[in-house]
Amino acid sequence: MNQATSLRDWLLTEEPASRRQAAFASWYKGWLRFRGNTLAMVGLYVLALLILAAIFAPLLATHDPFVQDLGNRLMPPGSEEHIFGTDSLGRDIYSRILYGARISIYIVLLVAMVAPLLGLIVGTVAGYAGGWADVVLMRITDIFLAFPRLILALAFVAALGAGIENAVLAISLTAWPPYARIARAETLTIRNSDYIHAIRLQGAGPLRIVTRHIWPLCVSSLVVRVTLDMAGIILTAAGLGFLGLGAQPPSPEWGAMISEGRKFILDSWWVATIPGLAIFSISLAFNLLGDGLRDVLDPKDSAT
């Protein structure tokens, strides 16, 4: 108990003795603010449960998600063998939902690694270089922003071909422009600050200034935007799967499951409704988590 109290006092001190202590204290105070947001914690718990369900899908699944049993097709939810019922081919919907969570999280993680990085590079180069580079890069960004994300993703997938990898690439190519705009706005604010002038006078080149001193200050805004965009990424991936351009059968992708279930929506509502509820749950969790992170990482809100 004394060790916990001393650690808490060490983290909450107003006069940190080192940079490491200051960093840990900042993270701990941010966690305390985040933990005080009930809805954000609900989103975190829901997301953690979905991730754990995806990781341990082989242990939690009651059936093989690919095995067909035409004798038990379109069974309603609630039976002992099939908690969420079965689809038109007799496959267990509960097991397919668990394995489908793997696909959705896989897509989200890949897009979250590609799109923000691309937007960060484009935005910081445009904001720091200025001039014709800024004009060209921002006009390209405006062209991408002029098209609805799903329509542009459909065009890319149509050109690249159907499949999860091509869907990830298409979504990434349509998701980077907002990050570029955020990074450019942050860079325009930072590049004329006194400490950037001091670093430049010490002999630091543009690459070092951008990567070592501007990028770290843009990360917090991008993290919030990424978290809030996860719901849109999931919906875009589900839309591609619904249209048959994402994960291909017999993959248990949630959008493809809804597409299959729409044929039986009046008589066998569960085939489409349960994957839809899964998409709703993970989208809501990401939105609640993003709102909480915005409250923690927003410097203006922190100042108040």
Beta bridge partners of 92: 86
Mean pLDDT, all residues of the chain: 86
DSSP, res 36: T
Residue 97 maps to a domain: yes
Query: Which tops the pLDDT comparison, 289 or 12?
Result: 289
Residue 49 maps to a domain: no
Q: What is the pLDDT of residues 174-220, one digit of tens each?
A: 899 999 999 999 898 888 888 888 888 888 888 888 888 888 888 88
Residue 152 maps to a domain: yes
DSSP, res 73: T
Q: Which residue has the tokens 């939105």?
A: 287
Say how many domains are in the chain.
1
pLDDT at 295: 80
Residue 12 maps to a domain: no
C-alpha–C-alpha distance, residues 173 and 30, integer Å? 32
Residue 241 maps to a domain: yes
Query: Residue 230's closest CA among 145, 99, 105, 144?
Result: 105
C-alpha–C-alpha distance, residues 94 and 115, integer Å? 32
Task: Write the CATH number for 172.
Answer: 1.10.3720.10
Residue 71 maps to a domain: no
Structural domain range at position 112:
92-304
C-alpha–C-alpha distance, residues 236 and 149, integer Å? 8
Q: What is the pLDDT of residues 42-101, one digit of tens each?
A: 999 999 999 999 999 999 999 999 999 888 888 999 877 889 999 989 999 999 999 999
Kindly report the pTM of this predicted structure. 0.84
Q: What is the pLDDT of residues 143-170, one digit of tens each?
A: 998 888 888 888 888 888 888 888 888 8
Write down how long the chain is: 304
pLDDT over 70 percentage in the chain: 96
Residue 30 maps to a domain: no
DSSP, res 14: S
pLDDT band with cut points at 50, 70 and 90 for residue 41: very high
- By the 8 A CB rule, do 49 and 288 touch? no
Q: How far is CA 192 from CA 15, 60, 64, 201, in A?
A: 30, 55, 59, 13
Residue 60 maps to a domain: no
